[in-house]
Amino acid sequence: MERQALKRAREAFLSGRTRPLEFRLQQLTALQSMIKDRHTEIATALKQDINRSQYDTPLLELISLENEITLAIAKLAEWAAPRPVEKNLLTISDEVYIQPEPLGVVLIIGAWNYPWAVTLIPLVGAIAAGNAAIVKPSELSEYSSLLLRAMLPRYLDQDLYPVVTGGVTETQELLKQRFDHVFYTGSSTVGKLVMEAASRHLTPVTLELGGKSPCYIDKNCDLRVACRRITWGKFANCGQTCIAPDYILCEPSIQNRVVEGIRQTLLEFYGVDPKCSPDYSRIINQRHFNRVMSLMEGYTAVLGGQSDASQRYIAPTVLKDVSPHSRLMQEEIFGPLLPIVTVSDMDDAIRFISEREKPLALYIFCSDKKAIKRMLDETTSGGVTVNDVMIHYTLTSLPFGGVGQSGMGRYHGKHTFDQLSHQRACLVRSLGMESVNLARYPPQDRQRARRVRLALTSPMIDFSKRTYVWAVCVTIIAFGLFVTLLVILLIQ
């Protein structure tokens, strides 16, 4: 099935069907209709998969997905247009530009924690860029996967955008095939396997992975607000978010106040018993439930800690005075456990972050602009949000992606379009004005070499539309000033 789907997709792509912008817009509009028509079914599937609240599904997935589609439809003509570039004297009369072109057939391997957003947002970019795409949703979000397989062919071209379901075997079979790009969202462990498989065909990859995203709280910030925002970001989706705050760094003097602030917020968000709250999700399956529970071994929770294996329920849990060397601090938690690690000051926090793998996200809660700038200058991460968490993900104007072990490549908005396009360098010149080229031909002498050097080292000249508009405006203003001066002289 996997090979047949790829064969049909490649044949459909090679037919040129995806080249016209009108076709791409039609497919994007159809995808937009699917999300609007079937949002209730999507919310029901997520309720069955992870007990996601019907109100959280639009907030956490569907709104961002709809925004991506709306932006792509509005901007596609601009994104796909040739982009003029600067020229030198040697190419001043030539047409020089960058032309975005489709890569071919893209493999999109989605994740289970946000099975609609992280699977379909890359698809939006693939369609906009003129590619075909094989969509492989995660088998762990079973209900969402089956619903996507049933729905997508009803709205999109079935040959160009097939959905392949299944588990490890089906994914491995797909990775044996040659694609033009592989877009994977998931764990670093599997990401390495995806990259290894893709390397056999020299296929470029986008890896949206994860890691331990630190959250530093300065002692002088508004702790009440900081704790509310951190609590929301950490325990939304039961902590199963790649950019959720993985752990807190703070000074010992404020640790208990942070715990109390989170306790009060949890009570406000989920009530006395989060297990009964319709807004609190569940762990995806039993294996992940057991993994998260094992991370707590040896620690006594200061908040939460309760669990129910039959419901895959783990209460929002906070652990304090956690050792940097504990197992809890060696792997991404991806669950509702929030360890607090104490540091002596900001210097210590910067050292702590810099000594570890580069995270997918970094969160800083601080009111001192100089301290914020220092933290930004002396650390690195895929993305950063100051005085909030996860909000940078919502902006289509910002690239979303990791660095180092947290991933490679970027997407969202135009960044997805560019990631899944080939930026073709184009130079078009006439067969006339051959005399200009004589200096580069043999036999060479000092005078010819000097001319070529002058042409090649001349300053780059911008002939873009913006430059023309600027030049025309300056000319009109200059002419107006000249006329005004002439009139004044004549009057006198």
* 402-435 pLDDT, tens digit each: 999 999 999 999 999 999 999 999 999 999 888 8
Q: Look up the pTM and report it.
A: 0.91
Nearest to 262 by CA among 301, 227, 314, 224: 227
Task: Work out the pLDDT band at 170, boundaries 50, 70, 90.
Answer: very high
State the pLDDT at residue 464: 66
Using the predicted structure, report yes or no on whether residue 471 has a pLDDT greater than 60: no
The pair of structure tokens assigned to 102 is: 């489709």
41-94 pLDDT per residue, tens: 999 999 999 999 999 999 999 999 999 999 999 999 999 999 999 998 888 889
Nearest to 231 by CA among 336, 365, 361, 382: 336
**Helix and strand tally (H, E) in the chain?**
17, 16
Task: Work out the pLDDT band at 461, boundaries 50, 70, 90.
Answer: confident
Nearest to 336 by CA among 306, 297, 359, 300: 306
Task: Work out the pLDDT band at 469, boundaries 50, 70, 90.
Answer: low
Distance of CA 450 to the CA centre of its chain: 48
Name the active-site residue from 68, 208, 227, 238. Answer: 208
Nearest to 121 by CA among 31, 252, 237: 31
331-380 pLDDT per residue, tens: 999 999 999 999 999 999 999 999 999 999 999 999 999 999 999 999 99
The answer to whether residue 242 is catalytic is yes
Using the predicted structure, report yes or no on whether residue 324 has a pLDDT greater than 90: yes
Residues paired with 106 in a beta bridge: 133, 181
Q: Which amino acid is at 333?
A: I
The answer to whether residue 208 is catalytic is yes
Question: What does R_g of the chain's alpha carbons equal in angstroms?
Answer: 28
103-158 pLDDT per residue, tens: 999 999 999 999 999 999 999 999 999 999 999 999 999 999 999 999 999 999 99
State the pLDDT at residue 492: 66
- Helix or strand run (H / E) with residue 105: strand 105-109
Q: Give me the torsion for CA of 348, 352, 355, 356, rounded to 10°.
A: -170
State the pLDDT at residue 120: 98
Scanning the structure block, which residue is given the tokens 């957003």?
117
Scanning the structure block, which residue is given the tokens 């071209």?
157
- Alpha carbons 333 and 322: distance in angstroms, whole number: 14
State the pLDDT at residue 483: 76
Name the active-site residue from 227, 242, 250, 366. Answer: 242
The pair of structure tokens assigned to 276 is: 């009964």
